[in-house]
């Protein structure tokens, strides 16, 4: 039997906030669930990492020194769990089987991350949402996404954003900004093209994991990319 494609989809917490910029917008949850469902219908195994920036980020919580950075980061990790639980509901409403696995034990409402267990869920066609980041302060959910993608042996990581991909400079500020269809890990790191933070890019580079950046809010994009349409995204690879 042909091996199924396995991908890790990462999106920021802010994506869930919709126009509000804060909290969780149910219409966005529903939309994302519909896009993920298309992948499952087409025999793709899907892991998901969601950020927490729509609720709190460690750096922001710690900005005036009252809250320690480490505590702020734990608050950020908890925010990702809130988003994961919400996404689980939306995916289940769309008829999918879902498991949330948290890097930090929260046994009342989700599983704790166990790599082999996650693999089994994926093989059985369940969506696995990886919550609570890496479980460590000073990391981001981008790094979490790359780490989990490598662990579950995903073929690619898709960073699903509100923009079409990566430009050499800010297209809102520079008319001559060029869209970059492919970028090397080195260029992403050295030209400070903020596809992901440096830790995440370095980990992807070490493991030759391609990072695809695309606009998740164009309907059907995720599936088109998985089916090979690379004209609608940027890819960071060797
Ligand atoms: N975080 C952390 N360790 C991790 C992942 C996340 O401490 O392994 C915290 C960190 O404070 C971060 C917050 O969780 O700011 C939310 O994650 P992130 O900023 O990556 O969310 P996004 O910007 O993608 O919404």
pLDDT tens digits, one per residue of 160-210: 999 999 998 888 888 998 999 999 999 999 987 889 999 999 999 999 999
Q: Residue 169: which domain range?
A: 5-237
CA of 57 to the centre of ligand 1 (A): 6
- Cβ-Cβ contacts under 8 Å for 215 (sequence gap 6 or more): 160, 161, 162, 163, 164, 165, 221, 232
Q: How far is the CA of 41 from the centre of ligand 1 (A)?
A: 30
Reduced to 3 states, what is the DSSP secondary structure of residue 162? coil
Closest ligand 1 atom to Cα of 53: 25
Question: Taking the CB of residue 169, how many other CB atoms lie within 10 A of it?
Answer: 12
Q: Are strands 156-161 and 211-215 parallel, antiparallel or unpaired?
A: parallel
Give the pLDDT confidence of 2-17 residue by residue, as tens digits: 679 999 999 999 999 9
Spell out which residues line ligand 1, taking CB within 6 angstroms: 12-14, 51-53, 57-58, 72-73, 76-77, 79-80, 133-134, 136-137, 139-142, 144
Nearest CA to ligand 1 atom 14: 76
* Residue numbers of the chain with a pLDDT score lower than 50: none
The total domain count for the chain is 1
Write the DSSP string, 35-90.
Answer: HHHHHHHTTEEEEEEE--TTT--HHHHTTTSSS-HHHHHHHHHHHHHHHHHHHHHH
- pTM (predicted TM-score): 0.97
CATH value at residue 104: 3.40.1160.10
Q: 48, 73, 132, 203: which to mutate for ligand 1, most atoms within 8 A of CB?
A: 73
* Atom number, ligand 1, closest to the C-alpha of residue 57: 15
């Amino acid at each position: 039997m042909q091996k199924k494609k396995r991908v890790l989809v990462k999106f920021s917490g802010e994506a869930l906030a919709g126009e509000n910029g804060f909290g969780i917008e149910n219409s966005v949850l529903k939309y994302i669930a519909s896009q993920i469902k298309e992948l499952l219908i087409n025999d793709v195994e899907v892991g998901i990492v969601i950020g927490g920036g729509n609720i709190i980020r460690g750096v922001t919580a710690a900005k005036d020194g009252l809250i320690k950075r480490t505590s702020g980061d734990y608050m950020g990790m908890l925010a990702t769990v809130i988003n994961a639980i919400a996404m689980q509901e939306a995916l289940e409403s769309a008829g999918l089987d879902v498991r949330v696995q948290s890097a930090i034990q929260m046994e009342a409402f989700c599983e704790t991350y166990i790599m082999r267990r996650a693999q089994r869920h994926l093989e059985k066609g369940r969506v696995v949402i990886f919550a609570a980041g890496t479980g460590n302060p000073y990391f981001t959910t981008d790094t979490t996404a790359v780490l989990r993608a490598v662990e579950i042996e995903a073929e690619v990581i898709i960073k699903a954003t509100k923009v079409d991909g990566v430009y050499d400079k800010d297209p809102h500020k520079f008319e001559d900004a060029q869209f970059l269809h492919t970028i090397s890990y080195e260029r992403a790191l050295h030209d400070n093209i903020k596809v992901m933070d440096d830790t995440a890019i370095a980990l992807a580079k070490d493991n030759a994991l391609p990072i695809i950046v695309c606009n998740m809010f164009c309907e059907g994009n995720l599936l088109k990319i998985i089916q090979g349409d690379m004209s609608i995204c940027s890819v960071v690879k060797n």
